[in-house]
Structure 1
Amino acid sequence: MNSTHSALPRHLLTLDGLPETALSALLIRAQAFAEGHYDRRALDGIAVCTLFFEPSTRTRMSFQLAAQRLGADVLNFDASTSSTRKGETALDTLKNLEAMGVRGFVVRHHEDGAVAALAGHVNPGTVLVNAGDGRSAHPTQGLLDMLTLRQAKGADFSRLKVLIVGDVRHSRVARSDLQALRTLGAGEIRVCGPAALLPTDATLQGCVVSQDFDAALEGVDAVMMLRLQRERMDEGLVTSLDDYHRDYGLTAARLRRAAADAVVMHPGPINRGVEITDEVADGPQSLILTQVRNGVAARMAVLEALLRG
């Protein structure tokens, strides 16, 4: 892992700018973990805290499992039952935990840039992993998605046509996936969704952008569906859930437009009957639960690389 250590930044805040060599090394290491090859004492004596100021199921649980499998002491911070309800700032919370000897923090926050701001105030030797901040980034989700694609389609991404569908504007997952796909040299990246849910900044640079889902599906190797993030959007961006499903919901009939061996992905939680039907989510082309399983391996790779560096 020395090559990964040297190429990785001190904290993992984003996949933007991460060298291809470091990203690929993390994926190779994560694959080894997925196959059960790891040292259960790799992080022995190191305390890791999941510092979540936003609800989470998959990300929090998989980080806890990842740290435990590597032998770390794991602390689970829940903002709803902590002193943050009494007015304590996120930075004061982190500094107090740091004073107790915590070396690794896995942070989720509702504000863009919040994790990077915290990283600017930690002690030498403390490392932070961004577990999702606002709409900005979710780097370990990007890693586990790339690991899942790599397992299904091979290491050569230049042959792949990948389609990301839905609420890209509010999706930190989409941003991290797009950054990773570009870094790994994906042959064609397509993005589809209603105009109101597509970003107007440089997020979609280099992508083939469409509002016609049926046309965008033609011949793709992977379809990455996104959750409709109603909690992050202004009213009126979607006329109705029924209309959204009619225009952008992935059904078995629609999926037949993709390549015969196309795979379906979704970061969860799923809005069944909105962005995807039960038949597709639970069908033979779905890798949704594989993504969840790979989340543990990808996060093990990140924790090992940062905390043993």
Structure 2
Amino acid sequence: MRAIIFLAIVGVAFGNLCKGVNKRDINAAFAAARVGSAAIFGNSCPGFDFDSVALSGKCKAIVKQATCYGLQAASHYDSDVVNYGQLASDVSNMEELGNLACAQARGCFLQVSAAMEACKAANADFVQDTIDAAESAYKENFEDKAAAFAKSSKGSLLGDLASMALDRFSSADDIQDFIEEHLTEGVKSDASAAAAEAQALAKGWCDDGCTSSTARFLEGIFGHMNGGGCDDASEFCGECQSRAASYFARNQLPCCIEKVVRRGIVAYDYVIANYSDALESYGAAVGSGLSASGLAEAKAIRDRVVEEFGCVSAVYSANRPECA
């Protein structure tokens, strides 16, 4: 079984997501990445080379294919309203990228990690120098734009949040102080455990070939949901919920998805049980900084999310698969 899964992964891994993508767009994306890399690592690690780290070895295929997918997706979803037909037709692309990640993401991570370790060995102040460079790049290229957005969007939720962030964080030191203020030993321990759990889930997902089985299920349900009164993928309650329920009546949710969903529910319950007071405190602090219109927008978004989640939860709860 594992051998079959491996052959399937290898077969998909060499699929070409760059087919049909303009080479000039790909080259432009890589050129921008090189400029950004030089700005961030130019002083802290002069020996860092973007091409040798990101466009060779274990990272070559996954970086190029992910770049091409991003370019394709920008065009594919360039519409005022995204429908389930668009999602269905994009599933095979996501499947190829997912299987490629299963095959090569760990190797690419180790390759990048080795490059970072080499930078640290060559410069004892590598981390701080890199942070300083990133802060300078932000101030030179984005700070004015962020301030202009906050000013022009005053009174909206995003505008208010941008203004609050600009007031609260004026430097990398401010961000570090904020993190250290809230990063207790308990938080560190929980974060470490969550990371280990996520890694184990990802490994199990890949080992079981869950990317492809999930893709087939999503193609089916998205295709079934598309049409009738279900014409907006951002809305689920109503006609879309009814069409989804009718699909579930004849098609079982793959057990590998169920496993991830159940672990997610356990994690959510743990967060609520252990961090609800802190979350309420953060929410109150943010709410007190919003304008009346921004607060009203936030509440409307919250109410819609709660309603939509309730509809999704109802379909899932009524159609949970029986898994070992």
For the aligned pair, the TM-score class normalised by the smaller chain equals under 0.3
Higher helix share: 2
Rg larger for: 2
More strand by share: 1
After TM superposition, the score normalised by the length of structure 1 is 0.24
Q: What TM-score do the two structures reach when normalised by structure 2? A: 0.23
